[in-house]
Amino acid sequence: MKEIPILFSTAMVRAIIDGRKTVTRRVCKCPVSLIEELKEVDGFAWFGNCGVWKSEMPYQVGDTLWVRETWCNIEDDIHYKADYIYRADGLYENDYWLKWRPSIHLPRKAARLFLRVTDVRAERLQDITNEDAIKEGVGFYTPRFETDIATSASESTTARTKFCSLWDSLNARRGYGWDANPWVFRVGFEKI
């Protein structure tokens, strides 16, 4: 079992804290020309008709993921009781003097959220169901944490449609948009 860092946006951290997010999807980066068939064998995803190329699954059941989130180090300020504060808490929105740091730079010692991997499988992005989109945390989006992502949708919009908008906002410019329908690793987890 490994301990692995994983990035989440502020809105998704909030959804994890609230217990609304229990699944995440991560792009499986591999040569598209080799993907004709995908088989999972002993923790590996095999691509191509002869297993010409393989990608070790990035996560295994039982692994611990430590969440990297937007944060601020305030250890020199006696006004606050903690050394670190987190944007997902939403308590410091009016403190414009705070220097928020990107999640990618959160050190392990500042991590506060830990997740245990309960399920991993490879699938096509567009295979997501409405129920799984809700598990992705998009069912109850609020504009407080994300501005343009899936917030202006009507009541008839499904969680799957909201997930599509969220996915494209994060991945389309990298070439892994909804319309590309990339292979993804679906990772189920629980808070520990």
- What is the b/e burial string over 136-164, where b = at least 16 CB atoms within 10 angstroms of the residue's CB? bbbbebeeebbeebbeeeeeeeebbbbbb
pLDDT, tens only, 150-180: 444 444 478 899 899 989 998 999 999 999 9
Instruction: Give the per-residue pLDDT at 58.
Output: 81
Quote the CA–CA distance of 151 and 155 in Å, as a whole number. Answer: 10
> Is pLDDT at 147 greater than 50 in this prediction?
no
Summarize pLDDT for 89-146 with one digit per residue, the tens.
988 767 777 888 999 999 999 999 999 999 988 888 999 999 999 999 986 544 444 4
CB atoms within 10 A of CB 83: 13
Q: What is the per-residue pLDDT for 6? A: 97
Distance CA 154, CA 152 (A): 7
The answer to whether 68 and 7 have CB atoms below 8 angstroms apart is yes
**Is 48 a residue whose pLDDT tops 80?**
no
> What count of other Cβ atoms lies within 10 Å of the Cβ of residue 180?
15
pLDDT score recorded for residue 96? 73
| Residue 98 pLDDT | 81
Q: Give the mean model confidence (pLDDT) for residues 30-39.
A: 50
User: Is residue 50 over pLDDT 60?
Assistant: no
- Mean per-residue pLDDT of the chain: 79
